[in-house]
Every structure is written in structure tokens, then in C-alpha cells.
Amino acid sequence: MAKLVIVESPTKARTLGNFLGKEYELAASFGHIRDLPKSNLGIDIENNFTPQYIIPTKSRKTVNSLKKLVSGSSETILATDEDREGEAIAYHLKEILGLKNYQRIVFHEITERAVKEALKNPRQLYESVVDAQTARRVLDRIVGYKLSPLLWKKVARGLSAGRVQSAAVRLIVEREREIEKFKAEEYWSVIASLKTKNEKGKAQNNNGKTENEFEAGLIKKDDKIIPKLGIKTQKEAEEIVNDLKGAVFEVKTIEKKSVKRNPLPPFTTSTLQQTAGQKLGISSQKTMSLAQNLYERGLITYHRTDSLNLSSESVFAAKEYIIENLGERYWPGFPRKYKTKSKGAQEAHEAIRPSNPQNNHKKINLERPQARLYGLIWSRFMASQMSEAVFDSTDVKIKAETLRGQNPDSQYLLQAKGQTLKFDGFLKIYPLQFGENEIPEMEEKETLDLIKLTPSQHFTQPPSRYNEPSLIKTLELNGIGRPSTYAPIISTIQKRNYVFKNEQKRFQPSEIGTVVNDLLVKHFPEIVDIKFTAKMEADLDGVAEGKEKWQKVVGDFYYPFAETLSKKEKELSKQEIAEEKTDKICPTCGAEMIIKLGRFGKFYACTNFPKCRYTESLKDNKLGIPCPKCGQGEITEKRTKRGKIFYGCDKFPKCDFALWDKPTGEKCEKCGALMVITKRRQTKCSNKECEKNVKKVEK
């Protein structure tokens, strides 16, 4: 009889089947085989928060199949992932399949060596790790199923609240308010274009300047440092320029040094998602999906990790590749080790790296999306074991004295910095952006010729809105969530329409997201408190380590929460939160109209609801463009159930005219259809048969 090995997915099963012999039979559980019911809370609060698990309909066929395989096998081996989710899946398999004698194995990479080593060293299930996953599931279910009905009653139908997601929405709302409150301050800089007396190099470089020309910025006046906002007005800048026009420019000091730049560490889940977003332009959810595929095919190590450890075998393989393909200079002479800075680093034992470092992305036949991500992981890992990049850096200080009569009137100090790449090191494999600026040769006390002075106006900038990489970084820095939760958090808050991505792919809170956040901040502060959420993660880590009982962690949260919830259900009024009175009259029945807040924003509604169901979009959403289909309505900005923006007739459902791209109001010269602006900043005809009528939008 064969030994049965159960994993989560068919892809992982196929990869294991490639090197495990006929004595093993592979089967997939297709993820969790039991879960909490969707129709009710599914937690026995009175019985110490006992979860009431069921086998979902979609898993019943899988369970029956696995039971038959177990009965016909000599031994059952649970080989699910090594994190909390994987441990919980293995535990539920043990319970549902009635396994008395079983083996639990874990491996960080799906390679023949790692899997066979794991088979030699089986272990029992870690119940404390399962308890940590149970506690997270119970806490999230309590918040979702207890708080969401309150939002339905007091704000709008269809709303829901999540424990960790609410903290993420708060970050986005607070950043938006920082931007709204921000007041730009004006400041000026003064740049001097200078040239050396050296006439040797008059050939022009790529910037159109001769080789003895360079620029220097003003940094001091009369030994006082000029800060960023030091020159506040054009008048001050012009006074300095007038002073410097008659100045003598002399080289005061020249500092030359070699600057080394160390390689970045290999990827963790967080940094992989951030870098894939920045370099490849893909979402965190897509990144994790591609990484899951690469892991299950045995190409990379486990992709849910916050550890920076590397196995000695992988480091040695990297050394061999670097020396053989790039040369001795690119090997630093020692294996590089990295230490994680993540709060509460846990779960996995290695950073994300290629399973076989000798296989670069050109050697493996992959589809383009997988190839791009694999190439990023491979190059980051390989670069982490390479020599530093070396730059030649030059720092020149230039004094400028203005003379009026016999005595110095003012003295200024300017600075010019230059940097050139001397040795590329790890940049050969993992390129990073850096500026090269060559400064001509000069000597101390050498006088320089002034070509021109340029005063420039600037304004301070507000803080940037979060994009996916910066939001993930902030969540990680604050200890909110764990490697496996970043992508679901970002996906969930968008699906709920609490936040959306603008044209720059940066997060902005929706009206409903802001209202829900403000309600939670005011009445349920612990739900959205950043420190409280981080402490809860630390408590869950304590459960996983066997230091805390999961029921106590849940109870400490639940009882104060339930008391507040009961109190707020009586206190809160829907009219105060989500309704505004207006002078508008319903055109259908003559009753008063109010502004209501729905899941997708504000709208006019009749107070005679449900007898009269008349609604109307707010003028703010209307574009002032007549509907080309019915001629009676007006084009309005709308959102789908998933929060995606589209443009449709405000007479819907009587008129179903809709466009994904924003109409300009102009009509096509060829066919008369509306012209629209695409995401690529082009105007084109909305008529698909007339798509060639395209032109770029002028900035």
C-alpha cells in the first residue's frame, strides 16, 4: 500500500509527484476543507468562544475522496505549508479524516532534497500555532458579524467592518485629511552656473555644456546656513542674485572620497509586494498569486515570510554562480547575512529566493508574468550576495565674496556635488536608479568664472497619498497584519468601496469610507486604533508561541466590545450620520427629498420610501453632458459594486447608456459619437467601429 501525501493544491501535488517515487500517492485538499458558516456567527460565545465549523458544499466531494484514499493507504502524511494557515489546514484534515496515526512534515522549498529531508524528520501538529489561527479567525468573525449589522442600520445597507482592514482605511483617511489641511509655502533657491579657468576640455557633454562647466547651489550666507525655506520671497532671491553678480567665486575646499553602496537584502513578503508594485506595476494580490504558482512549481522558496535568513547551501550556490559568470571581483569574499527589522517577525525560516540559484530566468520556460517576477526574485537574491557598488564622490565648497569699496559686504557659500560610478558590483545584476554628475577638475583657491545665476521658485508639497507599496510598508512598520494578510487587506477595502485608486494609482477614501471610519474612530476606537491593532497581532504571536491561551485573548477583546456595541445601538441615529435635509421636492410624489449616504456615495432620495422609490444623483457627480441615447438624461459619474468608476445616464434603469472612459462633451467628427479620455491620456471616439479617431490629450 502506498503512503498518502496531502497538500493544498494540485500544482503542488504534481511538483512533488515529479520526484517522489511510486510508494507515495499525492492528493490535494484545495485549501481549507472546513470553515465557519456564512449564514450565522458560527461561534458559541457562551461556551468559551468555541468555533462551530462546517464542511462547505464545495469541499464535500474532496473530503469523501480523501477519506477513500486514507482508508486505502498505509500511512497519511500532511504536507501543507508551514505557516499558521497551513498548520490549521493540516489540523482540520486530521480532525475530519479521523487520523490517529499521521505524520506532519514541512519544507521551505519544494525541491527533492528539501522534501526528502522533511520526510526523514516528521513531527506532530503544533496546536499552539493552530490556536493562533483560530483566534484570528474568531476575532475577525466577531467584528464582522457583530459590527456590520450596526453599520447597516445606522449608515447604509451592504456595509461591513473588519478588524485589520478598518485600521488600514483609517491610515488612508488620515493621510487624505493631512493633504486637505496642508498649506503650501513658497521658497526660492539660487543656482550658479560656473566654469573653471581650465581650457583643456571644451568639448560638449550630453547636457550641452562644455566639460569645464558645472552648477553649484547656494547653502550659506554670512556663515548662516540657508535652510529649505530660508529664501521665502522673490525679492530676497533677487537681492542675493544682484549681490552675487559682482562676486568673486573661489574654490574653498575639495573633498574627494570613495563611497560604497551595499546590496539590498533578499525579499520578504512585504518587500516583494512593494518592489513588484514599483518595478513591475502589478498589485499585491497579483504578486502573491504569481509567487504561489512559482512556489508550487518548485522554483522559489515559500513566499509568505518575514525572515531574512538564507540557507548555507543557497549562499554557496550563489557564490559559485557569481564567480563563474561574473568573476572574482563580484564576490565580496564572505557570505552576506541579514537581520530582519520587521516587528514580530515569525512564521517562516528563510527569505524568498530561487530554489536553485543556478537557474536564472532565461534558463526556465515561463509565461511572461511568472518570468518577470521570477527574474526579480532571482536578481534580488543574487545581488544580496555580491560586492558593493563603488562611487567616486566629489564635494566642492565655493566661497563668493561681494566687495563694495574696501570692505567685504557679504560672503556666500555654494556647494557642488559630483558622483560617478567606479565599480558596478551588485548593480550589474540588480540595477537601481542613481544620478551621475561629473564635476570638472579644479584646485583649491582657484577662481571661477560666473556664467549665469538662476533663481527658482518652489513650493512645499503635501504628503503623498498611499499607493500599494507605501501602504504595505506602513502596515508592516506599524505591526498591522502579517505577511499573508497584506494582499487580502488591500483587496478587501477596495471591494467594500471604502477606498479607491485614482488615476495615479494612489488610494483615496470614498465618502462612505470616510463616514464609516469617522463612526468607528468616535464610537469604537479600539477597532481602528493602530497601536491596539498591533498589540492584538503581538497577542496572537504569544498564542502561537504557547505563552497565551487563545480564549483569553478573544475574551479580553470581546466583552468590552460587546458592551460598547449594545450601548451604541441605542445611542446612534441614522439621520445624524447618513441623512441630510434639503429643500428639494420629489418630482414623482411631491414629498420632501433628502440626501442619503449609500454604499457608493451620496444621492437624493424621496422621504416617502418605500412607497416612492425615486432617487437622483447629486449635481456634483453630473458632467453636464446630455445622454446621447435617450436625450433626456445627463451623463453622471457612477461606481460599480466593486467600486470601479464608469459613466452612465442618470435616468437608469429607463436608459442603460454607459461608458468606462470619461466623456469630454465633444462629438466625433467622423460619426458623431461622444469622444472620451482613456487611461493613457488619449481622446478617442467611444464608437468601437470608429476607434481610429484617436489623439493625445494636450497637457
CA distance 513 to 511: 5
Q: Taking a C-beta distance cutoff of 8 angstroms, is the pair 674, 667 a contact?
A: yes
DSSP 280: I
Residue of 270, 175, 265 lying closest to 468 (CA atoms): 270
Q: How many helices (H) and strands (E) does the chain have?
A: 18, 27
CA distance 513 to 643: 11
3-state secondary structure (DSSP) of residue 43: strand
User: Which burial class, exposed, middle or buried, applies to 593 when counting CB atoms under 10 A from its CB (0-12, 13-18, 19+)?
Assistant: buried
Q: Which residues pair with 420 in a beta bridge?
A: 392
Residue of 238, 249, 193, 251 lying closest to 403 (CA atoms): 249
Which cell numbers in the block locate residue 569?
A: 445601538
DSSP 444: T
User: Which burial class, exposed, middle or buried, applies to 453 when counting CB atoms under 10 A from its CB (0-12, 13-18, 19+)?
Assistant: buried
**Which residues lie closer than 8 Å to 115 by C-beta, 6 or more apart?**
16, 19, 20, 79, 105, 107
Which one-letter amino acid corresponds to residue 402? T
Torsion of CA 91, 354, 303, 270, to 10 degrees: 160
> What does 589-621 look like in DSSP terms, one character per residue?
T--EEEEEEETTEEEEEETTTTT---EEE-GGG
> What does 421-438 look like in DSSP terms, one character per residue?
EEE-GGGGTS------B-
Q: Taking a C-beta distance cutoff of 8 angstroms, is the pair 131, 553 a contact?
A: no
Q: What's the length of the chain?
A: 699
User: Which burial class, exposed, middle or buried, applies to 328 when counting CB atoms under 10 A from its CB (0-12, 13-18, 19+)?
Assistant: exposed
Active site residue 302: yes
CA distance 239 to 37: 74
Which cell numbers in the block locate residue 253?
A: 575646499
Q: Taking a C-beta distance cutoff of 8 angstroms, is the pair 498, 512 a contact?
A: yes
Say if residue 610 is preceded by a cis peptide, omega within 30 of 0.
yes
Torsion of CA 176, 478, 285, 43, to 10 degrees: -110
CA distance 240 to 75: 85
**Which residues lie closer than 8 Å to 610 by C-beta, 6 or more apart?**
none
* 684 CB neighbour count, 10 Å cutoff: 18
Catalytic residue among 302, 330, 412, 430: 302
CA distance 385 to 377: 13
CA distance 365 to 123: 36
Q: Taking a C-beta distance cutoff of 8 angstroms, is the pair 93, 72 a contact?
A: no
User: Which burial class, exposed, middle or buried, applies to 39 when counting CB atoms under 10 A from its CB (0-12, 13-18, 19+)?
Assistant: exposed
Helix (H) or strand (E) holding 255: strand 247-261
Q: Which residues are catalytic?
A: 302
